[in-house]
């Protein structure tokens, strides 16, 4: 029997299931549940984590997503067991029913969620499974909304907060800043910081920066100041464009690149026209060659108003790119100011512009910051280290259950 909403069959051969149960009797069965509708920082981090966990023989790791897209494709490409229950074709009640069947069939020991929607649905689905432990990763603070969207979000977050407070065993914060914030709501004994990590061997450039520049009609003399991420208010992109206007008035060889997509695209294009930057700003949209784009940049700018530890920051540093970023959230836990990058105040376009121009004027400083940032990521933010800490948390959770 199959369900057309699932990318894998609901039914399973009884004999094969029994054989698998015997074969994997000593394994810890972990299922990650996520929306999977975007290929953004949380999805990249999920992929990094489950890829590393898959290499540990004591774990049987799988993923369930509520959307079939980039994350699902990448997980399958890596050989990770991935099931999709498309939320566009199923009601919440239908999703819960299918999750209950999935968790029972796979005898899931630990459910690990990543956002409010999957956390609520996942908890409801595991209530019939006594002994199933629940873990929630919080990837950042909530983003600002207005109007009806804000009212809906408050409702969802309220339910999520209640479920997390009473029904989640461990809460993972991706930064010390976020850990402190969550501990005030949920208690320090249940909250732990596990920094995001990156698999350095997977950060590969596929074409020379000079070739990509030619494709984008950029010359060797152009100093490329770029940003990459979702085009949403929390990313502070209006500050980026205000800083670009300041820089353009003083430096004629600066070109500004915005890589990513999102609801603010038209608003940002209007600001570019308002600031007279039509010839200076390139909108690249979503790119599958993100490492190539980062490697082409002379400086990566992260003007965010709030952050956990953004993956694009780790990726840029892994490529030895100098970074100018807001002093918010977990960013200062990665960047030591003027040592492994340059920190500025959030929303302060003047500071941001001055930092970028300082790096334009001092190539040696820019190179030193990039190399120092690369070394910091190599030693302190590896995917393997992150996965080991998560694995230890899983082991301790099950020990608590068994005692």
Show pLDDT as tens, one digit a residue, over the chain (403 residues).
Answer: 344 344 444 433 444 444 444 444 579 999 999 999 888 888 999 999 999 999 999 999 999 999 998 899 999 999 999 999 999 999 999 999 999 999 999 999 999 999 999 999 999 999 988 889 999 999 988 776 777 777 887 888 899 999 999 999 999 999 999 999 999 999 999 999 999 999 988 899 999 999 999 999 998 899 999 999 999 999 999 999 999 999 999 999 999 999 999 999 999 999 999 999 999 999 999 998 999 999 999 999 999 999 999 999 999 999 999 999 999 999 999 999 999 999 999 999 999 999 999 999 999 999 999 999 999 999 999 999 999 999 999 999 998 655 5
| Predicted pLDDT of residue 25 | 54
Count CB-CB contacts under 10 A for residue 311: 24
For 62-89, the DSSP string reads EEEESS-SHHHHHHHHTT-EEEE--GGG
Instruction: Indicate the SS3 state at residue 288.
Output: coil
Residue 142, helix vs strand vs coil: coil
pLDDT of residue 23: 44
d(CA 131, CA 401): 7
Domains along the chain with CATH numbers: 14-197+383-402 (3.40.50.2000), 200-380 (3.40.50.2000)
Distance of alpha carbon 393 from alpha carbon 399, whole angstroms: 10
What does the alpha-carbon distance between residue 162 and residue 134 come to, in Å, rounded to a whole number? Answer: 14
Q: What's the pTM value of the predicted model, to 2 decimals?
A: 0.84
Residue 50, both tokens: 């489950």
Question: What does the block give as tokens for 139?
Answer: 């990837």
């Amino acid at each position: 029997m199959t369900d057309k909403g699932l990318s894998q069959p609901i039914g399973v051969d009884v004999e094969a299931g029994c054989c698998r149960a015997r074969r994997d009797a000593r394994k810890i069965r972990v299922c990650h549940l996520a929306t999977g509708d975007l290929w953004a920082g949380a999805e990249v981090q999920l992929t990094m984590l489950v890829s590393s966990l898959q290499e540990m023989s004591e774990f049987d790791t799988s993923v369930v997503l509520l959307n079939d897209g980039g994350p699902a494709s990448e997980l399958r490409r890596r050989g990770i067991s991935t099931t999709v229950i498309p939320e566009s074709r199923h009601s919440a009640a239908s999703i819960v029913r299918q999750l209950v069947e999935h968790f029972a069939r796979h005898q899931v020991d630990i459910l690990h969620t990543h956002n409010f929607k999957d956390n609520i649905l996942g908890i409801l689905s595991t209530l019939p499974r006594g002994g199933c432990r629940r873990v929630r990763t919080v990837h950042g603070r909530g983003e600002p909304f207005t109007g009806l969207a804000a009212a809906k979000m408050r409702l969802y977050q309220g339910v999520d907060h209640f479920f997390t407070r009473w029904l989640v065993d461990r809460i993972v914060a991706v930064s010390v800043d976020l850990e402190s914030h969550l501990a005030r709501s949920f208690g320090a004994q249940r909250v732990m910081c596990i920094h995001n990590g990156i698999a350095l061997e997977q950060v590969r450039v596929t074409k020379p920066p000079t070739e990509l520049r030619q494709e984008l009609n950029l010359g060797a003399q152009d100093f490329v100041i770029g940003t990459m991420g979702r085009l949403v208010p929390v990313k502070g992109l209006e500050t980026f464009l205000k800083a670009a206007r300041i820089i353009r008035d003083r430096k004629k060889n600066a070109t500004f690149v915005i890589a990513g997509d999102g609801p603010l695209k038209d608003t940002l294009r209007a600001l570019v026209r308002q600031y007279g930057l039509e010839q200076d700003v390139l909108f690249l949209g979503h790119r599958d060659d993100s490492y190539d784009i980062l490697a082409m940049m002379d400086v990566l700018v992260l003007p965010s108003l709030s952050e956990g530890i953004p993956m694009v920051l780790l990726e840029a540093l892994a490529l030895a790119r100098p970074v100018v970023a807001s002093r918010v959230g977990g960013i200062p836990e990665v960047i030591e100011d003027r040592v492994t990058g340059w920190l500025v105040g959030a929303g302060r376009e003047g500071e941001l512009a001055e930092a970028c121009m300082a790096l334009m004027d001092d190539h040696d400083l820019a190179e030193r910051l990039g190399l120092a940032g690369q070394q910091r990521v190599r030693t302190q933010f590896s995917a393997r280290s992150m996965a080991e800490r998560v694995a230890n948390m899983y082991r301790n959770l099950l020990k608590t259950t068994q005692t």
